[in-house]
Amino acid sequence: MVPDQGKKWVFESINASWRGHKCRVKQKHYYAHETDEKRWENRPKTVSDSQFKDLLEYWNCSLIEKEAKINKGNRGSLDDMHTMGPKSYAMLRHKLQQEDPDKQEPSQEKVYKESRKRNPEKTYLTNNEKSISNIAKMDALQSVEHGEDGNTKDHYSEVIQDPVRKNRVRLYGRGVTKTDLKKKDTNSGFIFPQEFLQSMETQLVQKLAPSVASVILSQIQAANPGVELVIPDFSIGTKPKDASRDQHPTSDTNEQASNGPQLLDCEERLGEIPEDLGSNRAGQPLVN
């Protein structure tokens, strides 16, 4: 179901989620307690006893402890971290684009400044001296240029050096490459005809509506064995009209007469449904 263009992003997102999950488990169930006895008493319910025992042995290994300290030190040395938390750059870009009066794509400079904002009431593990310095340089360049010709440019590339990994694209999020940005504004030229879309929509409604109605009826009858519901057949308005029905107007009258008692009986029986079923009508799922 995932197109080839999105497979890389999916795999990288799964990998990052798995790493984050392992980090949270170790932080909550290992570092939070001083002894293995306390850790065992507060072991996570989502991890089996045998697996958590293996984890304790793994975390207590001297080589693993040394590696963890090195990784923690490297993490702490980062001096230009974003402060968006779980929010992605794609979400931030979409938000800034929607706030723009002309719905223009935000500049790298604007994305950088927004992603480095800090809440004075929160405590952060990393310092932001590098971010403050970079933002000050961008503002200085912008003020000088604005005074010269009244135009503003994106000064991000003038302040932030290019990454060592040339295939990496900053401030766009995981999985985005330079090739993706080049293809972003290109149009494939393939457009589905409106008639085709309407035909597909009609076919989907014709196939799905009876099954959905059947499921709802079965759930209502299962909850109320004494209630018998009869829903007459319905047709989609886009179906072609049968000319033979116009030649025999009495047939419509006969059909209405035959369907009339069923509809009336259905309305009467719907009124007999107990009040506790009303919670299902309020939005709760019928399926237990």
What is the rounded end-to-end Cα distance, in angstroms, of the chain? 28
For 69-124, give the secondary structure using H, E and C: HHHHHHHHCCCCCCCCCCCCHHHHHHHHHHHCCCCCCCCHHHHHHHHCCCCCCCCC
Residues 56-110 pLDDT 10s: 999 999 999 999 999 988 887 888 889 998 888 989 999 999 999 999 999 999 9
Closest CA relative to residue 175, chosen from 167, 185, 183, 163: 167
The mean pLDDT of 189-200, rounded to a whole number, is 62
Greatest mean pLDDT among 44-48, 176-180, 186-190, 265-269 lies in 44-48
Query: Alpha-carbon distance 70 to 239, whole Å?
Result: 70
DSSP-based three-state secondary structure for 201: helix
Higher pLDDT: 112 or 280? It is 112
User: Is pLDDT above 60 for 179?
Assistant: yes
**Cα atoms found within 13 Å of the Cα of residue 260, Cβ hemisphere only:** 7
DSSP states of 227-257: ----------TTSPPPHHHHH-HHHHHHHHH
Residues 156-168 pLDDT 10s: 988 988 777 766 7
**pLDDT attached to residue 59:** 95
Whole-structure pTM value: 0.52
Closest CA relative to residue 206, chosen from 236, 242, 233, 232: 236
Percent residues over pLDDT 90 in the chain: 31
